[in-house]
Amino acid sequence: MLTSIVEDQRLREIASLFDRATRVAIEGIWGSSAPFAAAAVAKLTGKRLLYVTAHLDQADDVQEDLELFTGQPVDVFPGWEADLPENLASDEIAAERLNVLTRLRLDPDQVRIVVAPVQALVFPVPQPGSFIHESFELKHGGTLDVEAFAQWLVDHGYTRLDRVEQPGDFAIRGGIADVYPSGVGHPVRVELFGDQIDSIRRFDPATQRSTDAMDYFYLPATSDYLLKLPGCPVFDYFLDTDTIICWHEPVEVSELAQTFVSRLKDPVGVYPFHAISRQTQRFNQLALIRFPGELFPHRARIEFAALPRFEAKPDAAVAQVIELAAEYDTTVFCENQAEIERFSQLLASADPHAAQRITLRVGLLHRGFLWPDRKLALVGHHEIFHRYEHRHRLKRSPVAAVTEAYGELETGDYVVHVQHGIGKYEGLKVVRRGDRSEEVLVIKYAGNVSLQVPVWQADQVQKYIGAFRGHPQLSQLGGKTWQKTKEKVGEAVSSLAAEMLEIQARREATGGIAYPPDTDWQRQLEESFIYQETEDQLLAIRDIKQDMQRPRAMDRLLCGDVGYGKTEIAMRAAFKALEAGYQVAVLVPTTILAEQHYRTFSERLAEFPFTVESISRFKSRKQQKDVLQRTVVGRVDVLIGTHRLLSKDVRFANLGMVVVDEEQRFGVAHKERLKQLRATVDVLTLTATPIPRTLHMSLIGLRDISTLATPPLDRRSIQTEIRKLDWALVRQAILREMNRDGQVYFVHNYVKDIQQIAEHVQAAVPEARIVIGHGQMDEKELEKVMLAFLRRQADVLVCTTIIESGVDIPTVNTIIINNADRFGLADLHQLRGRVGRYKYRAHAYLMLPPKRPLTPIAERRLRAIEEYSELGAGFRIAMRDLEIRGAGNILGPEQSGHIAAVGYELYCQLLAETVDRLQDRPAETHRKANLDLPLVGALPKKYVASERDRLQIYQRLAGAERVDDVDQLERDLNDIHGRLPDPTRMLLDLARLRLVAGRWGVRTAVLRDEDLVFHLDDATRCQELFSRSQIPPRFADPREVHLRLPPRYREPATLVRILFKLFSPAHEPQTAT
């Protein structure tokens, strides 16, 4: 980008000033011309650059501009929004800071440009030498004293846990040591053979599986430890003479630094701006300023200028670009190739010769500018079409696996045994069986009777989910009641499944619109999406398009956690209908959400010839009438609104699709109207209420459902805290957000005293601009408030739950929920999901009244929302909601009692079996043989110390359906826990034998005296299996076989070998089980 520009004589003169001066100012800066000029100076002088901004988010914008202009990586040295966090060891910002400092210290040639907000310079950093003195060298083939190593880790800030998931954790399991260092980006696994380091591997904290090996690794102390050592200014890392400190508007930088320090609760030890200014006197300095000033003795001026304001209508905006290109050498930066293709078409349509004069490049330019002297115009595509929300490409720190594995058992939990009913889990216990010991699951039933479940049957035990507020009744072990209960629920499930299948059949018979395949326009719209789609999104889009191309009315439910991209998928489906000449209605539960969808659809469709309108309380009667008149004659393509869309006076010329957002929020009458629509047009329903995978799988064939379970790549988990209402904390939370130029929701769901609460907020934070919004306000007044907040004319919105559904303002990254104990679990999760959509870590404060006691239900609810704050938590929230409130809200209240009777997991299992039966699908069975042999398999406590981990391994082993599953478990055990001891090898071999014997229809195999006795289900298969046996078989009856074993064959290792040979793949049964 800079190759031709650096030949400019003016720039060369400015760069040459650094040969004899140390402080130079460039005046006339505008938009992204500041990083443009800085990049040119860095390239012409060959010096390192430390670029200082006033604002936190400005640093990210400058980084991307600098990377565009220089074509090389640019580092950001981030700053905190407020005081240092309590736990620095796992703090993302601390880790990112240490990462930059480590590279500056150990590999400085690779760090040529660093961008830092001034807030990053305020705090001391570890002295450069500490990275060497306070690190531990690990070398492949070297020796390691595990106990001394563990002590070093503790002494240097690490915390010992059973499992390593975040920076600052370490775990030691036998010959395996896992450590997650700060500032490195990945955890490390060290495997020992005796006291020798056998391997050093990176591993994924989500799956716990190793990825790649290393020869050596310098393990640093935690950021928590390093940042408490005597510190120094960050400038000590730039002491070489070739560094230029670049100030972006130095007066503004100074003012922001002073404001930031004044707002700190504990400013002891930080550097005020006058100290920062003094520390930089040793360096070359460059000031980038808009207006002339007297700060620096050497000043140069380049007359950069602002771009023209582009028109709202796409055709007019394109005409302005063509007009600009007649006078300037114009480059338009597009986010991707699809944007280039689409913009090329628009240029060609407007002026066939324009494409010759305009350069189109892939890249993100934040704020375009003109350079009149060089007749140069640099323009961002997003500026032409007024699309200003842009993705910052973050290095995603590893997060916990997105999972709904909520069924982790703990002692005292209620459980369901498929055959014996509801009991209480009492943990793992070692018992004697004859001359051998084995671990079992202990379940207590009614009458204090206990059941011991072999670990290989652990998959028969499920966590009980489905009770309402009380506890379920324990089943009578050995009684007939449980079987009768299962039969009764089975009948109810059959009735439900039959009804849903009938609805599906009616839709198939009625027919519907068959949309054509995707076009170039569809591809351009999708490729212009500025985010990276998740795999779930791509699957959902594929399924929806397949539905739309079939000649029947689509009725699909799209479930996804808050902020997981449901709107984009709806947009693509709607576009497919629009291109085929049909109109689309988008039905939403609130007026505010209608306006938000209107903005989103308008922005995304700006380059295409489709008209988007909305109809809501925010529009006057005259405006509504005009929209409806244009809709009925087909001059409105997308109409967005609340239940007003379902009124009789709303008519369409050619309606093809209805998108329904959160249908459960509409009334009975509205749902009836939707039911009528479903028979004739395609309906896509969006919901943020996650459906757990087990239920989703059970409903396959009954309801078309797509699920988004994977978070977008730049989402971060939300820091969630439960606190007593404390106005000092409220002040701290709001100031932290204001320090990073963000905004705050303060949710108070009582209109009668919301004004009083707002006054309390104002008194706590006089610096903040506060507005109030609630559903009982006049429509125009509410619209005025919301627009002011959207336009960032206010810092805090004190409001009711009007923000709960879908309101998406990326700059709002703190939410304070007052009286949080009065909200339901799903409501709290929805409200919390309104933040966390920007590049910064979001905060949610659940405030409780200082004196009101918590009910047990509220306590459980709040504990769950605090515990499940990681990405993808919606599925765990849904499962916990099932446990607290029952499961009737998913399948309707009439099913609640049945779910409560047998538990959620078993209910789903019965439903899935019923659907298979009604649709004549062959049930896939994976029968396992019951082996009663003198073979001892176990997970020794020395190998897997944690009872929770052992139980999970037992459950995974019992749930294995194929030998491949057992093989994968063996690889994971070797990787995570180290070399398998002999009892664990035997445990896995027994699991494999049960599977391969089960494929032959073997029910039991028992060693009785000298005979190995088999019972099979099928006489033919029995003959087939034992006709190949090296030991002559004796048939007691067609399905019972005895093999007489010589003494040497009864040794455990030999017996296992004989059985594997008998059931080997070469002897696979001729007919499937």
Domain ranges within the chain, ordered by starting residue: 5-128+229-301, 135-220, 314-384, 414-497+896-918, 511-706, 719-870, 930-1067
Q: What is the largest CA-CA distance in the chain?
A: 107
What one-character DSSP code corresponds to residue 833? T
608-612, 651-655, 669-673, range with the lowest pLDDT: 669-673
Which of 5-9, 825-829, 891-895 holds the top average pLDDT? Answer: 825-829
From residue 108, alpha-carbon distances to 8, 75, 121, 131, 248 in Å are 30, 12, 19, 14, 24
Fold observed for domain 414-497+896-918: Thrombin, subunit H (2.40.10)
Q: How many helices (H) and strands (E) does the chain have?
A: 36, 44
pLDDT confidence of residue 246: 97
CA distances 703 to 290, 545, 560, 685, 698, Å, are 60, 16, 16, 12, 10
What confidence tier does 61 reach under pLDDT thresholds 50, 70, 90? very high
DSSP lists the bridge partners of residue 169 as: 159
Of 590 and 454, more confident: 454
Identify the pLDDT of residue 406. 43
The CATH architecture to which 930-1067 belongs is Alpha-Beta Complex (3.90)
Q: Which residue would you say has higher pLDDT here, 95 or 24?
A: 24
Q: Which range is least confidently modeled, 350-364, 851-865, 955-969?
A: 851-865
Q: Tell me, what's the pLDDT at 691?
A: 64
Measure the CA–CA gap between 694 and 679, rounded to whole angstroms: 28
User: Among 45-59, 81-95, 416-430, which stretch is predicted with the lowest mean pLDDT?
Assistant: 81-95
* Residue pLDDT, tens place only, 997-1011: 998 999 999 998 889
Amino acid at 548: M
Q: Looking at residue 1073, what is its pLDDT? A: 38
Say yes or no to pLDDT of 436 above 50. Answer: yes
- Which of 460-474, 745-759, 887-901, 927-941 is the least confident region? 887-901
Query: Lowest mean pLDDT: which of 390-394, 403-407, 553-557, 653-657?
Result: 403-407
C-alpha dihedral sign at 680, 684, 690, 696: positive
Q: Which residue has the higher pLDDT, 207 or 692?
A: 207
Give the model's pLDDT for residue 148. 94
How far is CA 664 from each of CA 79, 302, 646, 648, 693, rounded to the nearest angstrom?
Answer: 43, 59, 15, 21, 20
CA distance 491 to 985: 44
Answer whether 511-706 and 719-870 agree in fold: yes
Name the pTM for this structure: 0.74
Per-chain mean pLDDT for the chain: 86
Work out the pLDDT band at 694, boundaries 50, 70, 90: low
Euclidean distance between CA atoms 889 and 847, whole angstroms: 27
- Decide if pLDDT at 118 tops 80: yes
DSSP labels for 280-300? Answer: GGGSEEEEEESS--SSSSEEE
- Is residue 90 very low, low, confident or very high in pLDDT (cuts 50, 70, 90)? low
CATH number of 5-128+229-301: 3.40.50.11180
Q: Would the pLDDT of 980 be above 50?
A: yes
Segment 475-532, tens digit of pLDDT? 999 888 999 999 999 998 898 888 878 877 877 777 889 999 999 899 888 877 867 7
Separation in Å, CA 975 to CA 140, 317, 630: 16, 58, 65
Q: Can you give the pLDDT at residue 81?
A: 85
Instruction: Give residue 693's pLDDT.
Output: 59
Superfamily covering domain 135-220: Penicillin-binding protein 1b domain (3.30.2060.10)
Kindly state the average pLDDT of the residues 921-928. Answer: 70
The pLDDT value given to residue 886? 45
Q: Is 226 helix (H, G, I), strand (E, B) or coil?
A: helix
Percent of the chain with pLDDT over 90: 46
Structure confidence by residue, pLDDT tens digits, 321-363: 999 999 999 999 998 888 888 888 888 888 888 778 899 999 9
Read off the pLDDT band of 701 (50, 70, 90).
low
- Please check the confidence at residue 566 and state whether its pLDDT lies above 50: yes
pLDDT at 403: 39
The CA distance from 1028 to 717, in Å, is 59
Q: Is the pLDDT of residue 1018 over 50?
A: yes
Q: Record the tokens describing residue 993, joined without a space.
A: 């034998």
Between 384-393, 458-467, 937-946, the lowest mean confidence (pLDDT) is in 384-393
Of 757 and 698, the one with more pLDDT: 757
pLDDT in tens, 298-317: 888 999 999 998 987 888 88
pLDDT at position 298: 86
pLDDT of residue 528: 76
For residue 732 the two structure tokens come to 């701290």
pLDDT-based confidence at residue 365 (cuts at 50, 70, 90): very high
Whether 265 has a pLDDT exceeding 90, the answer reads: no
Phi, psi values for residue 659, rounded to 5°:
-100, 125
Give the span between the Cα atoms of 188 and 177, in whole angstroms.
8
Mean pLDDT over 204-232 rounds to: 88
CATH H-level, domain 719-870: superfamily: P-loop containing nucleotide triphosphate hydrolases (3.40.50.300)
Q: Which two tokens stand for residue 253?
A: 């930088």
Backbone phi and psi for residue 234, each to the nearest 5 degrees, phi listed first: -65, -25
pLDDT for the residue numbered 1072: 40
Q: Which residue has the higher pLDDT, 629 or 618?
A: 629
Read off the pLDDT of each residue in 737-759 and give the average, rounded to a whole number.
94
Question: Is pLDDT above 70 for 931?
Answer: yes
What average pLDDT score do residues 566-578 get? Answer: 95
CA 40, CA 147: separation in Å to the nearest integer?
A: 54
Q: Which residue did the predictor score with more confidence, 933 or 200?
A: 200
Fold of 511-706: Rossmann fold (3.40.50)
